[in-house]
Structure 1
Amino acid sequence: MQLQHFTTTRTARYISLGEPGPGIQHIWICLHGREQNLLDFASQLVNLDTPERLLILPEGLSRYALPALETTPEAAATVASWFAPESVQVDLADLTTYLDGLSAQVLAACPPHTPVTVLGYGHGAAAACRWLAHGRTPYERLILYASIFPAEIDRQAVLASLPKQPVTVVTTTIDSFTPEVAGEGLVQDLQAAGLPAQLRYVSEGGLTLAALGAASEAPAEPSAARPATS
């Protein structure tokens, strides 16, 4: 018995907060965490939803329903993940094709040179790094929030392949996350890879504009060129 792979077309889902168009000055592509419901993730980002900012929230291709609790059967939710432990490399290759295609479609509908920020949350941080390291999507800034890199992904190798764009690592001052999301080691790895990285701490609460650096955004200059990507 031998496990085989076959490539086929998949239909993915995503949420758009805002609509592509000539008035968009900032594009955010936001990757959710492991086993996270996409609507729940979107509810954490509503404070970023402004007329000049477009948020694209892709859903992982591994979509499934969590078992409902007997006491609250109506609470069953559809969740998604970016990769499975036994098929990480295959899933990540599919992820790159998927996100590059979606991003190209979105960017084509917005003004040229619109700045792109990529946000990865939890396991979505690892997915974002792997995608940007091997994909073709141009971006100006990467934000890694409560980052978790599973053991199946070589973090240092992935970070070394990232374009030399600024990275903000956001971690929390509370104990609601496991110790692996502590950002100091990730910042050290980013800096060792030659990436400009900073660490930012947040307290309990939603993903605020200040925590993510959105409040200081400025529109791109019309003549600005997109940075080259690897």
Structure 2
Amino acid sequence: MQPQFFTTPRTARYISLGEPGPGIQHVWFCLHGREQSLQDFASQLVNLDTPERLLVLPEGLSRYALPALDTTPETAATVASWLAPDSSEADLADLTVYLNGLAAQVLAACPPNTPVTVLGFGHGAAIACRWLAAGRIPYDRLVLYASIFPAEIDRQATLAALPNRPVTVVTTTTDTFTSEAAGEGLVQDLQAAGLTAQLRYVSEGPLTLAALGASGEVPADPPSPAQ
């Protein structure tokens, strides 16, 4: 008995730190980790939230409650994952459509040619790479933080399909994450794919632009003179 697939529209959720508009100079699309709530992810990005920067945090399409020992079902945190092992290709196709549509909507409400950074955390780093490898969304740089590529995603093939944009690999100085998330091997794979990649280290706590490489954020074009 084989599972069958049926494509249907569905409603996704996202958090926006900032509002699209003429004053936005930088747009960041930030993809959370596995079994992570958007609120928890947003708390890690609070240092990046400035008036001229728009942070868009899409949520994975697989949402579910993750109760802790000291909570009731009513107070359980809602977390999300990006794909399931037994339907990864279908999930990845759905995610590409979802992220393309969200990005197009957000960028249409910002000044033309606003610089775009994509940040992926944990499994979200792998999803970011698969999404950008499709080549539909213009972006200026990619930041991969504590990256973990699940077995369902071929890392070397995905990196080889990425556009030629600079990549910053961020890893922690603590031992919270697995050795795969250490970053050195990912930098080597990125460089083998012909991409410019640098490795940066952060400690625990909210991320900072300094840790992510502030100089790598592409400057926005100056506003056009009034007609």
Q: TM-score, normalised by structure 1?
A: 0.92
Check conservation: 1:97, 1:135, Cα contact below 8 A.
no
Deviation at 1:68, TM superposition (A): 3.8
The number of residue pairs the alignment matches comes to 222
Query: CA–CA distance in 2 between the matches of 1:63 and 1:135?
Result: 27
| Aligned counterpart, 1:72 | 71
| Aligned counterpart, 2:28 | 28
| Aligned counterpart, 2:142 | 142
| Partner SS for 1:117 | strand
| Partner SS for 1:165 | coil
Query: CA–CA distance in 1 between the matches of 2:151 and 2:183?
Result: 16
* AA partner of residue 193 (structure 1): A
- The answer on 1:173 being equivalent to 2:161 is no
| Residues 163-219 of structure 1: CA deviation (Å, up to 9, x unaligned) | 000000001121111111010110011011011111111122221221112466453
Consecutive unaligned residues of structure 2, counting only runs of 5 or more, are: none
Consecutive unaligned residues of structure 1, counting only runs of 5 or more, are: 224-230
| Partner SS for 1:64 | strand
Matches within 5 A, 1:10-25: 10-25=10-25
Query: CA–CA distance in 2 between the matches of 1:208 and 1:67?
Result: 30
Check conservation: 2:38, 2:79, Cα contact below 8 A.
yes
Mark the CA change 1:144 to 1:216 in structure 2 (over 3 Å): closer, same or farther.
Answer: closer
Check conservation: 1:31, 1:57, Cα contact below 8 A.
yes
Query: CA–CA distance in 2 between the matches of 1:63 and 1:188?
Result: 34
Query: CA–CA distance in 1 between the matches of 2:180 and 2:187?
Result: 13
**Percent of pairs with identical residues:** 82
Query: CA–CA distance in 2 between the matches of 1:160 and 1:195?
Result: 9
| Aligned counterpart, 1:109 | 109
Mark the CA change 1:219 to 1:182 in structure 2 (over 3 Å): closer, same or farther.
Answer: same
| Aligned counterpart, 1:227 | none
Check conservation: 2:141, 2:217, Cα contact below 8 A.
no
Query: CA–CA distance in 2 between the matches of 1:216 and 1:193?
Result: 20
- The answer on 1:190 being equivalent to 2:190 is yes
* AA partner of residue 72 (structure 1): T
* AA partner of residue 209 (structure 2): L
Query: CA–CA distance in 1 between the matches of 2:170 and 2:198?
Result: 9
Q: TM-score, normalised by structure 2?
A: 0.93
Query: CA–CA distance in 2 between the matches of 1:64 and 1:186?
Result: 30
Query: CA–CA distance in 2 between the matches of 1:186 and 1:219?
Result: 27
Query: CA–CA distance in 2 between the matches of 1:81 and 1:124?
Result: 9
Query: CA–CA distance in 2 between the matches of 1:72 and 1:139?
Result: 41
RMSD: 1.5
